[in-house]
Structure formats: structure tokens, C-alpha cells
Amino acid sequence: MSWNNLIDNLIPIGVCVVLPIFIVWLNLRAKMNETNRKAEVMLKAIEAGKEVDADYFKPEGKAKTVKGQLLGKLTGACITFLIGALVMTIVLCMSAQEKIDSEATLGFTVFGGIMIAIGVALFISFFVGKKMLAKEMEAEEMRLSENQQLQNPR
């Protein structure tokens, strides 16, 4: 076994195995550090006899609204459906010109079909969710508009 062959094998292993594990470890470490800092602040507040806020450990950032979640499904549906359609179109064009062998054609066709199926499933999920959650979206919009009016009185 030569050094070039070893390096050619180590690079994909590093990218496909080590890099994702490192990214997950780094994210978990950052979350643990944040939690530890918050716990220290809470302990000092308790030791000083101050009142402790129960919302201090809630995740930061905006919570997605029902409408935002549905739009996320719609976006995912569009992306996956278009990727599947693009793959299928490219495979059909390349197989018609005989630039791709039958095994690769089958593999890419299956991949494109799966992507199209996922896109269609997300479209169905979006439209069913939109119909089922219409009242919740209206109530949420009314609540948001009331909060906005309270914050910005004219």
C-alpha cells in the first residue's frame, strides 16, 4: 500500500466521519458551556437571596409561529420536488443521448423519484396543515397584532 493510496482513503473518511462528529461535539460543548454559565448566575442569585426568573433557562431566539412552520414545510416541499425533477430530467436527457450506463441511470432515477415523493408528501402536509390550523393562525395573528398595538401606541 502506497502513501498516495492511504491519503486518498483517509480524506473521504475524514470528511464523511470525523468532520460531522467534530461539528456535533462542538455544538454540544457550546450548549453545555452556555448552560453552565447560566447555572452559575442562578446559583449566585440564589445565594444573594434575589428572586429567580423561571424563564431564564428557556431557549433564546424567536419561537416559530404556526404560519412560519407551514411556510418552512412549503419551502422544503418546493426544494425537494425541484431537486427530484431536475435529477430526473438530467438522467432522462443523458440516458437518451447514451452518455450514462444503465446502473447509474437506475440509481439516479430512484434518487430522483424519492426526492419527488418527499416533495409531494411535504406539499400534502402543507395543504392539510393549512386547512387544519387556519383558526390557530388567525388567533396567532390577532395576538401578534394586539401585542404590536400595545408596544406602539399612536
Furthest CA-CA distance within the chain: 78
Same domain, 87 and 124: yes
Domain count, the chain: 2
Same domain, 77 and 47: no
- What mean pLDDT is predicted for residues 85-92? 93
d(CA 59, CA 131): 29
Q: Which amino acid is at 100?
A: I
Q: What is the pLDDT of residue 137?
A: 86
Which of 56, 73, 62, 74 minimizes the C-alpha distance to 140? 62
Let me know: does 38 contact 55? Beta carbons within 8 Å.
Answer: no
- What mean pLDDT is predicted for residues 45-68? 76
- What's the pTM value of the predicted model, to 2 decimals? 0.58
The per-residue pLDDT for range 93-135, each reduced to its tens digit, is 988 888 878 888 888 899 999 999 999 999 999 999 999 988 9
Q: Could you say which of 12, 27, 57 is where a domain stops?
A: 57
Same domain, 74 and 133: yes
Q: Which domain does 31 fall in, by range?
A: 3-57
